[in-house]
Amino acid sequence: MTRINPITAACLVCFIAISATYAQPKSIPQKVDALIKKMTLAEKIGQLNQYNGDWAATGPVTTDVGNKLDAIKRGEVGSILNIVGVQHTRVFQEAAMKSRLKIPLLFGQDVIHGYSVTFPIPLAEAASWDLDAIKKSARIAATEAAAGGVHWTFAPMVDIARDPRWGRVMEGAGEDPYLGSLIATARVKGFQGNGLGNLDAVMACAKHFTAYGAAIGGRDYNSVDMSLRTLWEFYLPPFKAALDAGVGTFMNSFNDLNGTPASASHYLQRDILKNKWGFKGFVVSDWGSIGEMINHGYVKNNYEAAEAAINAGNDMDMESRSYINNLAKLVAAKKVSIATIDEAVKRILTKKYELGLFDDPYRFSDAEREKRVLNTPETIAAARDAARKSIVLLKNNNKVLPLSKNDKSIALIGPMVKLKKENKGFWALDVGDENQVVSLYEGVQQHTGNAKLLYAQGCDVTDTTRTGFNEAYKTAMQADVVVMAMGERFDMTGEAKSRSNIHLPGVQEELIKAIVATGKPVVVLLYAGRPMVFDWTADHAPAILYTWWLGNQAGNAIADVLFGSYNPGAKLPITFPRTEGQIPIYYNHYNTGRPAHADNDVNYTSAYIDLLNSPKFAFGHGLSYTTFKYDNLKLSKKSMLKNGNIRVSFDLQNIGDYAGEEVAQLYLRDVVSQPVRPVKELKDFKKLMLQPGEKKTITFTITKDKLAFYNDKLDWITQPGEFNLMIGSASDDIRLQNNFNLDN
Ligand code: NOJ
């Protein structure tokens, strides 16, 4: 055995001690651990606390904390939401740099569909089924937001929504978990770019976890009562997709799910998200949702609310002040462990390190970059393209559209024609100026050439005065063609904007009747943040474009479509009901024991005796100026083994006169299954452009994951047996069908 001389041994001990003191931690986990060791309990709790900035509140501000800058200097705040702009955010960051440990603040903001250049509302973008365009729009929003001092966006909202009364349908991707998951992935990747730490990336947030979209009666903030199988099958997949795409944070939701408010749900936040799925980021509450558990009747006071939330895995408290006021007491009372606090703090600090804020807390505060990046010609062109891609051609009788170049006069009628900044839609930021928004009138003006442009407002959106009808009628009579811009106001959807009556509001449908009665060709544009009910218009107006709220380039994009310089190719991402009484209505439902065999079959079937069974417009519906032919379906084999696959191919041909894009959709049905499966589920799609006459072969591959589902025990399984395969242009327009088997 080698003997170490005592002096050498003493030096060695000294050396180890000195290097332990001065060794710089290298990895982020090491840095986080080192920092946490220096933090007092109060400083740790501060990191879990998020306040609203001083500019815009997106919820009720509960208590006044006095001067927020002082609270920041005392280390009581980890994050601020609702402040934008290099100048504004810098003021807050400077305060953080005066705190003892100089831990930088995280600036969060609802950057939902654009920052300065506003893109279409998310539901509209979802109608494009164009994942590259959706990713690009998030990329541009992130680049602009990051240049404006924002680190973190509270987006994407990935809530599945089957109820158009719910005002927040406008914020998501509609009703389908497959499409919703792909869009969630595209948005997360768009926002986070090449990863946190890049100067053009903002951290994304998958919200609202979870089932918020299933609020009973479509009334915002309402309870959700749902089987766990439905939760796993339909509502969780987009969240899982966001997680797999690397989303940095999750936001929980206002609702209770089966009796437990989401903010206190151990099952959602710990069992599923952090344990089963291994999520490494952090969970922020929704605005005040921790404190609101008192109203839910779940806890007595904020003290109990804080205890329930932190123990359930809610890391950051947005604006309820439950954590800042109670966590220290809860730790002293041993109701919350230091380990639980440390875990939450670590998750938050890790993100601050990943964003590079410890290297330079002002790295997102460069005034010159802010000026250079906002509203470039490229981003404006991208917004126009995204807007055109979002417009759905619902109907086009007698090929009224595109408008003829020979029209000598065009009448623009309706309350939306001259709107400017309203085109941005709900959840748009007050960044940039109104002149950057193109109204319909301005857009059409650019396209009309020598044609005369006539205008009458006709009526208001909600007001029932008919005094403008006469002038509108006279204007229509002087025109070769009439374009009517109708709909619901932009702020009739969004948070806390549920409607029990989703009809086209006011006297608008009466005005449409009066103008259609002139016998002139009429095109109706419908501006909305949700599916509306407009039965008469749907049946009698020759042409309808659903334009949603399209953002800064709305006027140009609509004009592109009206005049045929762009051929619409969007498809509905959500079912349009005939009346409110049909809600919830969605395409991927079960068959029941007494399905109706025809639209008007009420002979002891599952039907309404006063309404047809079908929706007004089905999921996946959307026309084009051209016509597509589906043909020549081939399956590589008629049965597959569990780990095998079947290749499905078919020909798609453009047999019309215009170049155009089609979204070819693949649906599957598991014919016999226990538990039962939906009549149809979207499992793949392909969007492609074809020139007139052009034909392309499309191939889809069926693999096990397209056939699997959750059984009653919530196991993800496949069952052998027969499957129907349907390919078509919409969920109710299936052109090709065949069957195949999954063998054991
Ligand atoms: C409440 C909303 O539900 C949420 O989506 C949003 O991010 C926060 N307020 C912050 O504005």
- Which of 81, 83, 153, 154 should be mutated for ligand 1, with most atoms under 8 A from CB? 154
Give the amino acid at 289.
Answer: S
Q: Are residues 89 and 155 in the same domain?
A: yes
Q: How far apart are CA 713 and CA 466, in angstroms?
A: 59
Q: Of 89, 86, 78, 139, give the one whose Cα is nearest residue 111.
A: 139
Q: How far apart are CA 596 and CA 233, in angstroms?
A: 25
Residue with tokens 């003892």: 100
Nearest CA to ligand 1 atom 7: 154
In a domain, 562, yes or no: yes
Question: 71 by DSSP, 3-state: which?
Answer: helix
Q: Of 364, 430, 363, 425, give the one whose Cα is nearest residue 390.
A: 425
pLDDT of residue 57: 72
| Count of beta carbons in the 10 Å neighbourhood of residue 623 | 23
In a domain, 597, yes or no: no
Question: 112 by DSSP, 3-state: which?
Answer: coil
Burial class of residue 472, CB neighbours in 10 A (0-12, 13-18, 19+): buried
Residue 647 and residue 635 in contact, taking contact as beta carbons nearer than 8 Å: yes
Nearest CA to ligand 1 atom 3: 286
| Count of beta carbons in the 10 Å neighbourhood of residue 33 | 14
User: Domain span at residue 51?
Assistant: 25-369
Q: Are residues 427 and 345 in the same domain?
A: no
Q: Are residues 124 and 247 in the same domain?
A: yes
Q: How far apart are CA 534 and CA 524, in angstroms?
A: 11
**515: Cβ–Cβ under 8 A, 6 or more apart, which residues?**
413, 458, 472, 473, 476, 482, 484, 522
Q: How far apart are CA 594 and CA 585, in angstroms?
A: 17
Q: How far apart are CA 276 and CA 253, in angstroms?
A: 20
Q: Are residues 388 and 365 in the same domain?
A: no
- Measured in angstroms, how far is the CA atom of residue 60 from the centroid of ligand 1? 11
Q: Give the residue from 524, 548, 582 where a domain finishes.
A: 582
Q: Of 162, 293, 269, give the one whose Cα is nearest residue 208.
A: 269
Burial class of residue 649, CB neighbours in 10 A (0-12, 13-18, 19+): middle
Q: How far apart are CA 255 and CA 282, in angstroms?
A: 19
User: Measured from the CA of 157, which atom of ligand 1 is nearest?
Assistant: 5
Q: Are residues 635 and 573 in the same domain?
A: no
Q: Which residues line ligand 1 (CB under 6 A)?
A: 58-59, 81, 110, 154, 207, 286-287, 495
Residue 389 and residue 130 in contact, taking contact as beta carbons nearer than 8 Å: yes
In a domain, 220, yes or no: yes
Residues labelled as active-site residues: 286
Q: How far apart are CA 639 and CA 419, in angstroms?
A: 56
The DSSP symbol for 584 reads: S
User: Measured from the CA of 207, which atom of ligand 1 is nearest?
Assistant: 5
Q: How far apart are CA 158 and CA 548, in angstroms?
A: 19
Nearest CA to ligand 1 atom 4: 286
Q: How far apart are CA 213 and CA 253, in angstroms?
A: 10
- Measured in angstroms, how far is the CA atom of residue 426 from the centroid of ligand 1? 13
Q: Find the radius of gyration of the CA atoms of the chain.
A: 28
In a domain, 587, yes or no: no
Nearest CA to ligand 1 atom 8: 287
Geometric angle at alpha carbon 494, from 489 and 497, rounded to 5°:
75
Give the domain CATH number at 695.
Answer: 2.60.40.10
Separation of CA 516 from chain center: 36
Separation of CA 29 from chain center: 32
Separation of CA 350 from chain center: 26
Residue 231 and residue 258 in contact, taking contact as beta carbons nearer than 8 Å: no
**211: Cβ–Cβ under 8 A, 6 or more apart, which residues?**
159, 224, 226, 231, 235, 253, 255, 257, 262
Q: Are residues 350 and 401 in the same domain?
A: no
Nearest CA to ligand 1 atom 11: 58
- Measured in angstroms, how far is the CA atom of residue 269 from the centroid of ligand 1? 18
Q: How many domains does the chain have?
A: 3
User: Measured from the CA of 108, which atom of ligand 1 is nearest?
Assistant: 10
Q: Are residues 567 and 647 in the same domain?
A: no
Q: Of 142, 149, 157, 226, give the one whose Cα is nearest residue 189.
A: 142
- Which of 209, 290, 318, 493 should be mutated for ligand 1, with most atoms under 8 A from CB? 318
- Measured in angstroms, how far is the CA atom of residue 427 from the centroid of ligand 1? 10
Residue with tokens 């998020």: 50
- Mean pLDDT of residues grouped by 10 in the chain (744 residues)? 52 50 79 98 98 77 73 97 94 97 98 98 98 98 97 98 98 98 99 98 98 98 98 98 98 98 98 98 98 98 98 98 98 98 98 98 95 94 98 98 92 98 95 91 91 97 98 98 98 98 98 98 98 98 98 98 98 98 98 96 96 97 98 98 97 98 98 97 98 98 97 96 98 98 93
User: Measured from the CA of 154, which atom of ligand 1 is nearest?
Assistant: 7
In a domain, 10, yes or no: no
- Which of 208, 495, 497, 498 should be mutated for ligand 1, with most atoms under 8 A from CB? 495
**452: Cβ–Cβ under 8 A, 6 or more apart, which residues?**
408, 409, 410
User: Measured from the CA of 59, which atom of ligand 1 is nearest?
Assistant: 9
Distances (CA, A) of 365 to 77, 84, 116, 144: 19, 10, 16, 12
pLDDT of residue 60: 73
For residue 648 the two structure tokens come to 């499905």
In a domain, 505, yes or no: yes
For residue 168 the two structure tokens come to 């927040």
- Which of 106, 113, 220, 251 should be mutated for ligand 1, with most atoms under 8 A from CB? 251
Residue 99 and residue 74 in contact, taking contact as beta carbons nearer than 8 Å: yes
- Measured in angstroms, how far is the CA atom of residue 287 from the centroid of ligand 1? 6
Q: Are residues 362 and 420 in the same domain?
A: no
Q: Are residues 189 and 164 in the same domain?
A: yes
User: Measured from the CA of 254, which atom of ligand 1 is nearest?
Assistant: 3
**670: Cβ–Cβ under 8 A, 6 or more apart, which residues?**
677, 707, 709, 719, 721, 723
Q: Are residues 191 and 321 in the same domain?
A: yes
In a domain, 655, yes or no: yes
- In DSSP notation, 197-226 reads TBTT--B-EEEEETTGGG-GGG-TT--B--
Geometric angle at alpha carbon 541, from 536 and 543, rounded to 5°:
135
In a domain, 622, yes or no: no
Angle (deg, nearest 10), helices 322-332 and 302-312:
80
Q: What is the DSSP pairing of strand 152-153 with strand 106-109?
A: parallel
Q: Give the residue from 525, 557, 582 where a domain finishes.
A: 582
User: Measured from the CA of 212, which atom of ligand 1 is nearest?
Assistant: 3
- Measured in angstroms, how far is the CA atom of residue 253 from the centroid of ligand 1? 9
Q: Are residues 236 and 272 in the same domain?
A: yes
Strand-pair partners of 91: none
- Measured in angstroms, how far is the CA atom of residue 362 from the centroid of ligand 1? 25
Nearest CA to ligand 1 atom 1: 287
Q: Are residues 532 and 664 in the same domain?
A: no
Q: How far apart are CA 172 and CA 157, in angstroms?
A: 5
Give the amino acid at 582.
Answer: Q
- Which of 203, 286, 317, 427 should be mutated for ligand 1, with most atoms under 8 A from CB? 286
Q: How far apart are CA 692 and CA 305, in angstroms?
A: 62
- Measured in angstroms, how far is the CA atom of residue 485 from the centroid of ligand 1? 30
Q: How far apart are CA 510 and CA 516, in angstroms?
A: 10
Q: Of 297, 298, 320, 296, give the one whose Cα is nearest residue 308.
A: 298
User: Measured from the CA of 205, which atom of ligand 1 is nearest?
Assistant: 7
pLDDT of residue 2: 43
- Measured in angstroms, how far is the CA atom of residue 92 from the centroid of ligand 1? 21
- Measured in angstroms, how far is the CA atom of residue 490 from the centroid of ligand 1? 18
- Measured in angstroms, how far is the CA atom of residue 58 from the centroid of ligand 1? 6
CA atoms within 13 A on the CB side of 192: 26
Which residue stretches of 541-647 are H helix?
A: 554-562
- Which of 287, 289, 429, 430 should be mutated for ligand 1, with most atoms under 8 A from CB? 287
For residue 291 the two structure tokens come to 């404190």
Give the domain CATH number at 441.
Answer: 3.40.50.1700
pLDDT of residue 55: 63
Separation of CA 469 from chain center: 38
Q: How far apart are CA 36 and CA 42, in angstroms?
A: 12
- Measured in angstroms, how far is the CA atom of residue 316 from the centroid of ligand 1? 14
